[in-house]
């Protein structure tokens, strides 16, 4: 079968493309614009890891370029689409919202329209736990009210879910959105907490923890996330009488205090952190925790990798890649 993966040079996109290519049952086309939001060398290094797989091909392209992307989809005719390309980052969305409008709103509209013209069996797209905003009470359930996301990033992801509902209703396009909860692991983004914290500890530079390190995060190992993506991909939502669209949480369901997360990294890196405890940061949520009832019923999803083991694997990669 043919699978198109957008954001294939990104963190989750790389791991997903690799899992599909390793199965030897998929012809995988990875698409990524290779933006400079963070170090492009890391993205190219991920692609080098994918290069040996005969089942994988890469094309540098912009999925937000509507006509060109529609032409690409029409030419490749994928059986499945995994849309993981987006402008990430909660805090950066407060500084550069235009980038999120283009990539997360216009870009997703481009993907939907391309798939309407050349319909695959199923489109799975990345949403985020950031859609749960003001008033949300953990554990977060998919049917909770998500009309008040705190960050603009969260607002764009909420908009994606609403846009998907419209396309499912009007064009019978099979769509599933996945709300990821604080994904970590090898090849992670340098702007995310694990790498930021590990680098600060290794270098002996101040490590700034907002809300005095008391924020709780549902850290989810990337292999568990990919397990969910691949299983869900093969099971499209039910057709009418309801629109063929749904949303699932993908998380670990065991939130951990940020300060404890740092202490675990200290033990693995065998070095003490220079911690600065700061007030809450605008746009941050104090706690995230995924209710997994719905996704467990649908595909028997259950995270397997404990935080202790996941961090051990991450630190081993961090030391090798960054030569620390």
CB hemisphere CA count around 232 (13 angstroms):
33
> For residues 222 and 151, is the Cβ–Cβ distance under 8 A?
no
Integer-rounded Cα Rg, in Å, for the chain is: 19
Catalytic-role residue among 14, 38, 152, 153? 153
Q: Which residues contact 112 (CB under 8 A, 6 or more apart)?
A: 123, 163, 164, 167, 173
Token output for 213: 């390190």
Please say if 37 is a catalytic residue.
no
Beta bridge partners of 179: 127, 249
Structure tokens at 312: 């051990």
30: region left, alpha or beta (phi > 0 left; psi from -120 to 50 alpha): beta
Give strand pairing partners of 32: 60
Torsion of CA 5, 230, 296, 185, to 10 degrees: -70
Strand partners, 257: 216
| Distance separating alpha carbons of residues 124 and 295, to the nearest angstrom | 14
- Helix/strand/coil for 61: coil
Contacts of 213 (CB under 8 A, 6+ apart): 257, 258, 259, 262, 275, 277
Structure tokens at 283: 């746009």
Active site residues: 153
């Amino acid at each position: 079968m043919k699978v198109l993966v957008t954001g294939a040079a990104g963190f989750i996109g790389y791991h997903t493309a690799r899992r599909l290519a390793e199965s030897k049952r998929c012809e995988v086309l990875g698409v990524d614009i290779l933006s400079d939001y963070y170090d492009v060398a890391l993205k190219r290094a991920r692609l080098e890891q994918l290069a040996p797989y005969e089942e994988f091909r890469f094309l540098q392209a912009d999925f937000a370029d509507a006509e060109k992307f529609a032409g690409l989809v029409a030419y490749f005719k994928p059986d499945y689409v995994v849309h993981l390309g987006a402008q990430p980052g909660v805090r950066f969305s407060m500084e550069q919202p235009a980038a999120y409008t283009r990539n997360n709103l216009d870009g997703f509209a481009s993907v939907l329209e391309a798939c309407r013209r050349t319909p695959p069996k199923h489109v799975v797209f990345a949403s985020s736990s950031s859609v749960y905003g003001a008033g949300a009470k953990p554990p977060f359930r998919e049917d909770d009210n998500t009309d008040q996301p705190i960050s603009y990033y969260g607002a764009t992801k909420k908009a994606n879910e609403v846009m998907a509902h419209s396309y499912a209703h009007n064009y019978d396009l099979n769509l599933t959105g996945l709300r990821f909860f604080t994904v970590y692991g090898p090849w992670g983004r340098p702007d995310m907490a694990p790498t930021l914290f590990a680098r600060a500890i290794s270098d002996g530079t101040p490590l700034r923890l907002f809300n005095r390190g008391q924020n709780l995060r549902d850290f989810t190992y990337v292999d568990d996330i990919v397990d969910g993506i691949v299983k869900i991909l093969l099971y499209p939502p039910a057709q009418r009488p309801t629109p063929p669209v749904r949303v699932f949480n993908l998380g670990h369901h065991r939130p951990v205090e940020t300060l404890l997360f740092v202490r675990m990294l200290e033990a693995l890196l065998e070095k003490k952190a220079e911690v600065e405890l700061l007030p809450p940061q605008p746009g941050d949520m104090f706690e995230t925790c995924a209710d997994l009832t719905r996704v467990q019923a649908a595909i028997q999803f259950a995270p397997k990798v404990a935080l202790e083991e996941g961090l051990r694997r991450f630190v081993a990669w961090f030391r090798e890649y960054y030569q620390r």
